[in-house]
Copies of this chain bind each other. A is one copy, B any other.
Amino acid sequence: MKIGKSTVPRTAICTSDEHTIVVRGKNLCDDLIGHLNFADYFFLLLTGQKPDAAASAVLNATLVAIAEHGFVPSVQASRMTYAAAPDALQGAVAAGILGCGSVILGASETAGRLFTDVAARMDAGESLDDAAAGAIRELKAGGRSIPGYGHPLHKANDPRVDRLIAVATEAGADLRYVRIAQAIERAIPGIVGKELRLNVSAAIPAVLLGVGFPVRSLRGVPILARTAGLIAHLAEEAEQPSGFALSYQATRELQYEGEVPEGFLGQA
Protein backbone atom coordinates (compact mmCIF):
# COMPACT_ATOMS: atom_id res chain seq x y z
CA MET A 1 0.00 0.00 0.00
CA LYS A 2 1.40 3.37 -1.01
CA ILE A 3 1.40 5.98 1.77
CA GLY A 4 2.79 9.42 0.99
CA LYS A 5 4.25 10.75 -2.21
CA SER A 6 7.59 9.08 -2.78
CA THR A 7 7.87 5.38 -3.47
CA VAL A 8 11.65 5.28 -3.75
CA PRO A 9 13.78 5.38 -0.61
CA ARG A 10 16.79 7.70 -0.75
CA THR A 11 19.71 8.33 1.57
CA ALA A 12 22.96 10.25 1.71
CA ILE A 13 24.38 8.56 4.82
CA CYS A 14 25.90 5.25 3.77
CA THR A 15 26.44 2.94 0.83
CA SER A 16 28.66 -0.08 0.37
CA ASP A 17 29.86 -2.81 -1.91
CA GLU A 18 31.57 -6.06 -1.09
CA HIS A 19 34.90 -4.38 -0.36
CA THR A 20 34.14 -0.87 0.83
CA ILE A 21 31.73 0.83 3.23
CA VAL A 22 31.18 4.50 2.48
CA VAL A 23 29.85 6.80 5.21
CA ARG A 24 29.16 10.44 4.43
CA GLY A 25 31.47 10.23 1.43
CA LYS A 26 34.41 8.77 3.38
CA ASN A 27 35.84 5.26 3.30
CA LEU A 28 34.82 3.92 6.72
CA CYS A 29 37.88 1.72 7.15
CA ASP A 30 40.57 3.93 5.61
CA ASP A 31 39.38 7.35 6.73
CA LEU A 32 37.31 6.93 9.88
CA ILE A 33 37.97 3.89 12.09
CA GLY A 34 40.92 4.83 14.28
CA HIS A 35 40.94 8.41 13.02
CA LEU A 36 38.20 10.04 15.07
CA ASN A 37 36.45 9.35 18.36
CA PHE A 38 32.92 8.02 18.60
CA ALA A 39 31.27 11.36 19.44
CA ASP A 40 33.00 12.99 16.48
CA TYR A 41 31.69 10.19 14.28
CA PHE A 42 28.19 10.89 15.63
CA PHE A 43 28.65 14.51 14.53
CA LEU A 44 29.78 13.36 11.09
CA LEU A 45 26.85 10.96 10.75
CA LEU A 46 24.41 13.74 11.63
CA THR A 47 25.85 16.62 9.66
CA GLY A 48 28.05 15.14 6.94
CA GLN A 49 31.00 17.15 8.29
CA LYS A 50 33.78 16.24 10.71
CA PRO A 51 33.61 18.47 13.78
CA ASP A 52 36.34 21.02 14.35
CA ALA A 53 38.27 20.96 17.63
CA ALA A 54 35.75 23.13 19.45
CA ALA A 55 32.79 21.07 18.27
CA SER A 56 34.55 17.86 19.28
CA ALA A 57 35.33 19.17 22.75
CA VAL A 58 31.83 20.51 23.32
CA LEU A 59 29.94 17.49 21.98
CA ASN A 60 32.01 15.05 24.02
CA ALA A 61 31.50 17.23 27.10
CA THR A 62 27.71 17.35 26.70
CA LEU A 63 27.48 13.58 26.21
CA VAL A 64 29.57 13.03 29.36
CA ALA A 65 27.48 15.57 31.27
CA ILE A 66 24.09 14.00 30.57
CA ALA A 67 24.84 10.27 30.40
CA GLU A 68 24.32 9.47 34.06
CA HIS A 69 22.54 10.88 37.09
CA GLY A 70 21.74 7.86 39.23
CA PHE A 71 18.39 6.08 39.63
CA VAL A 72 16.29 8.51 37.61
CA PRO A 73 12.87 7.21 36.44
CA SER A 74 14.13 5.91 33.10
CA VAL A 75 16.94 3.97 34.79
CA GLN A 76 14.43 2.48 37.20
CA ALA A 77 12.12 1.50 34.35
CA SER A 78 15.04 -0.08 32.53
CA ARG A 79 16.28 -2.04 35.56
CA MET A 80 12.75 -3.30 36.36
CA THR A 81 12.38 -4.39 32.74
CA TYR A 82 15.69 -6.21 32.84
CA ALA A 83 14.77 -7.95 36.09
CA ALA A 84 11.61 -9.27 34.43
CA ALA A 85 13.18 -10.04 31.04
CA PRO A 86 16.93 -10.61 31.53
CA ASP A 87 17.33 -12.42 28.21
CA ALA A 88 16.76 -9.25 26.23
CA LEU A 89 19.29 -6.54 27.10
CA GLN A 90 18.12 -4.56 24.09
CA GLY A 91 14.56 -4.55 25.47
CA ALA A 92 15.62 -3.08 28.79
CA VAL A 93 17.71 -0.41 27.03
CA ALA A 94 14.72 0.40 24.81
CA ALA A 95 12.44 0.73 27.85
CA GLY A 96 14.85 3.25 29.34
CA ILE A 97 15.14 5.25 26.13
CA LEU A 98 11.35 5.46 25.89
CA GLY A 99 11.51 7.73 28.94
CA CYS A 100 13.57 10.34 27.03
CA GLY A 101 10.41 12.29 26.31
CA SER A 102 9.06 15.80 26.39
CA VAL A 103 9.03 16.18 30.20
CA ILE A 104 12.46 14.91 31.16
CA LEU A 105 15.27 14.78 28.62
CA GLY A 106 13.42 16.27 25.66
CA ALA A 107 13.89 19.71 27.22
CA SER A 108 17.29 19.96 25.51
CA GLU A 109 15.47 20.18 22.19
CA THR A 110 12.71 22.57 23.29
CA ALA A 111 15.29 24.77 25.03
CA GLY A 112 17.31 24.77 21.82
CA ARG A 113 14.28 25.92 19.86
CA LEU A 114 13.74 28.68 22.42
CA PHE A 115 17.32 29.85 21.89
CA THR A 116 17.06 29.85 18.10
CA ASP A 117 13.83 31.81 18.47
CA VAL A 118 15.65 34.43 20.56
CA ALA A 119 18.49 34.46 18.03
CA ALA A 120 15.98 35.08 15.23
CA ARG A 121 14.52 38.01 17.17
CA MET A 122 18.03 39.42 17.51
CA ASP A 123 18.69 38.94 13.81
CA ALA A 124 15.52 40.98 13.28
CA GLY A 125 16.99 43.82 15.29
CA GLU A 126 15.98 43.25 18.93
CA SER A 127 18.55 43.57 21.70
CA LEU A 128 19.65 40.45 23.56
CA ASP A 129 17.64 41.28 26.66
CA ASP A 130 14.53 42.36 24.77
CA ALA A 131 14.61 39.23 22.65
CA ALA A 132 15.00 37.01 25.73
CA ALA A 133 12.21 38.76 27.58
CA GLY A 134 9.94 38.63 24.55
CA ALA A 135 10.40 34.91 24.10
CA ILE A 136 9.66 34.21 27.76
CA ARG A 137 6.60 36.42 27.79
CA GLU A 138 5.31 34.47 24.80
CA LEU A 139 5.84 31.14 26.58
CA LYS A 140 4.14 32.49 29.69
CA ALA A 141 1.20 33.85 27.72
CA GLY A 142 0.77 30.37 26.20
CA GLY A 143 0.79 28.81 29.67
CA ARG A 144 3.95 26.89 28.93
CA SER A 145 6.93 26.33 31.22
CA ILE A 146 10.43 27.57 30.36
CA PRO A 147 12.26 24.47 29.06
CA GLY A 148 15.66 23.91 30.65
CA TYR A 149 15.29 26.17 33.66
CA GLY A 150 14.89 24.96 37.26
CA HIS A 151 15.90 21.56 38.66
CA PRO A 152 14.28 19.46 41.42
CA LEU A 153 17.61 18.63 43.11
CA HIS A 154 20.14 21.23 41.97
CA LYS A 155 18.04 24.23 42.96
CA ALA A 156 20.60 26.98 43.41
CA ASN A 157 22.95 25.82 40.70
CA ASP A 158 23.20 22.79 38.41
CA PRO A 159 26.96 22.18 38.60
CA ARG A 160 27.06 20.84 35.03
CA VAL A 161 26.04 24.21 33.62
CA ASP A 162 29.14 26.20 34.59
CA ARG A 163 31.38 23.32 33.63
CA LEU A 164 29.89 22.99 30.14
CA ILE A 165 30.21 26.72 29.59
CA ALA A 166 33.82 26.59 30.78
CA VAL A 167 34.59 23.76 28.36
CA ALA A 168 32.99 25.68 25.49
CA THR A 169 34.90 28.83 26.39
CA GLU A 170 38.24 27.03 26.67
CA ALA A 171 37.60 25.29 23.36
CA GLY A 172 37.04 28.62 21.63
CA ALA A 173 33.43 27.85 20.71
CA ASP A 174 31.02 30.55 19.56
CA LEU A 175 29.22 31.54 22.78
CA ARG A 176 26.26 33.36 21.23
CA TYR A 177 23.68 30.86 22.50
CA VAL A 178 25.31 30.76 25.93
CA ARG A 179 24.73 34.49 26.20
CA ILE A 180 21.12 33.96 25.07
CA ALA A 181 20.63 31.25 27.69
CA GLN A 182 22.03 33.51 30.39
CA ALA A 183 19.88 36.43 29.26
CA ILE A 184 16.82 34.24 29.64
CA GLU A 185 17.95 33.29 33.14
CA ARG A 186 18.24 36.97 34.04
CA ALA A 187 14.85 37.80 32.54
CA ILE A 188 12.89 35.01 34.22
CA PRO A 189 12.45 36.49 37.75
CA GLY A 190 10.88 39.69 36.47
CA ILE A 191 8.42 37.88 34.21
CA VAL A 192 7.77 34.54 35.90
CA GLY A 193 8.03 35.84 39.47
CA LYS A 194 10.69 33.47 40.74
CA GLU A 195 14.28 32.49 40.04
CA LEU A 196 14.75 29.48 37.77
CA ARG A 197 18.39 28.72 37.08
CA LEU A 198 19.74 27.19 33.88
CA ASN A 199 19.87 23.42 34.14
CA VAL A 200 21.85 20.92 32.13
CA SER A 201 19.07 20.50 29.55
CA ALA A 202 19.43 24.18 28.60
CA ALA A 203 23.22 24.22 28.88
CA ILE A 204 23.45 21.44 26.28
CA PRO A 205 21.86 23.43 23.44
CA ALA A 206 23.49 26.62 24.71
CA VAL A 207 26.94 25.20 24.01
CA LEU A 208 26.09 22.87 21.11
CA LEU A 209 24.28 25.34 18.87
CA GLY A 210 27.42 27.47 18.81
CA VAL A 211 29.50 24.67 17.30
CA GLY A 212 27.13 23.77 14.48
CA PHE A 213 25.16 20.94 16.06
CA PRO A 214 21.74 20.81 14.35
CA VAL A 215 18.82 21.96 16.49
CA ARG A 216 16.58 19.21 15.13
CA SER A 217 18.85 16.48 16.56
CA LEU A 218 19.35 17.98 20.02
CA ARG A 219 17.11 15.34 21.58
CA GLY A 220 19.54 12.79 20.19
CA VAL A 221 22.24 13.94 22.61
CA PRO A 222 20.52 12.81 25.82
CA ILE A 223 19.19 9.71 24.05
CA LEU A 224 22.68 8.63 22.96
CA ALA A 225 24.25 9.62 26.26
CA ARG A 226 21.66 7.85 28.40
CA THR A 227 22.05 4.71 26.32
CA ALA A 228 25.62 4.49 27.64
CA GLY A 229 24.39 5.00 31.20
CA LEU A 230 21.62 2.42 30.78
CA ILE A 231 24.05 -0.22 29.53
CA ALA A 232 26.20 0.37 32.62
CA HIS A 233 23.19 0.12 34.93
CA LEU A 234 22.08 -3.11 33.28
CA ALA A 235 25.57 -4.58 33.68
CA GLU A 236 25.32 -3.76 37.39
CA GLU A 237 21.74 -5.12 37.50
CA ALA A 238 22.97 -8.43 36.07
CA GLU A 239 25.48 -8.76 38.90
CA GLN A 240 23.61 -7.10 41.76
CA PRO A 241 19.87 -6.95 41.10
CA SER A 242 17.90 -3.91 42.23
CA GLY A 243 14.98 -3.99 39.83
CA PHE A 244 12.51 -5.90 41.98
CA ALA A 245 13.71 -4.11 45.14
CA LEU A 246 12.92 -0.79 43.46
CA SER A 247 9.47 -2.07 42.57
CA TYR A 248 8.87 -3.27 46.13
CA GLN A 249 9.95 0.02 47.70
CA ALA A 250 7.95 2.04 45.19
CA THR A 251 4.64 0.66 46.42
CA ARG A 252 5.20 0.55 50.17
CA GLU A 253 3.05 3.64 50.59
CA LEU A 254 0.72 2.98 47.66
CA GLN A 255 -2.81 4.10 48.44
CA TYR A 256 -5.72 2.23 46.93
CA GLU A 257 -8.62 4.60 46.52
CA GLY A 258 -11.16 2.42 44.77
CA GLU A 259 -13.98 0.32 46.15
CA VAL A 260 -13.57 -3.18 47.54
CA PRO A 261 -16.04 -6.07 47.70
CA GLU A 262 -17.69 -6.89 51.01
CA GLY A 263 -15.40 -8.85 53.31
CA PHE A 264 -12.13 -7.85 51.63
CA LEU A 265 -9.47 -7.31 54.28
CA GLY A 266 -6.48 -6.02 52.29
CA GLN A 267 -2.83 -6.47 52.88
CA ALA A 268 -2.76 -5.30 56.51
Contact = CB atoms under 8 A, between A and B. Distances in A.
A167 B34 contact: yes
B152 A12 contact: no
Interface in A71-117: 71-74, 76-78, 80-81, 83-95, 97-106
Contact of A160 (B21, B57, B105): B21
Contacts of A236: 11-13
Interface stretch (A118-126, A139-147, A179-187, A219-227): A219-227
A61 interface: yes
Contact of A95 (B20, B63, B89, B99): B99
Given A80-B76, A83-B103, A235-B214, A97 B94 contact: yes
Interface in A5-37: 6-34, 36-37
Contact of A264 (B17, B250, B256): B17
A240 to B, nearest CB: 6
Contact of A224 (B214, B228, B253, B257): B228
A27 B261 contact: yes
Nearest to A155: B18
- Assembly of this chain: how many copies? 4
A233 to B, nearest CB: 6
14 contacts: A1-B70, A2-B152, A3-B248, A11-B236, A16-B153, A22-B258, A37-B60, A38-B228, A42-B67, A76-B80, A77-B80, A85-B90, A86-B101, A90-B99
Interface of A: 1-4, 6-34, 36-39, 41-42, 45-46, 48, 57, 59-61, 63-65, 67-74, 76-78, 80-81, 83-95, 97-106, 152-157, 159-160, 162-164, 166-167, 170, 214, 216-217, 219-220, 223-225, 227-229, 231-236, 238-261, 264-268
Given A2-B244, A42-B231, 14 more contacts: A1-B72, A9-B242, A12-B256, A17-B268, A34-B57, A37-B37, A38-B63, A41-B63, A45-B231, A70-B251, A90-B223, A95-B99, A224-B228, A246-B250
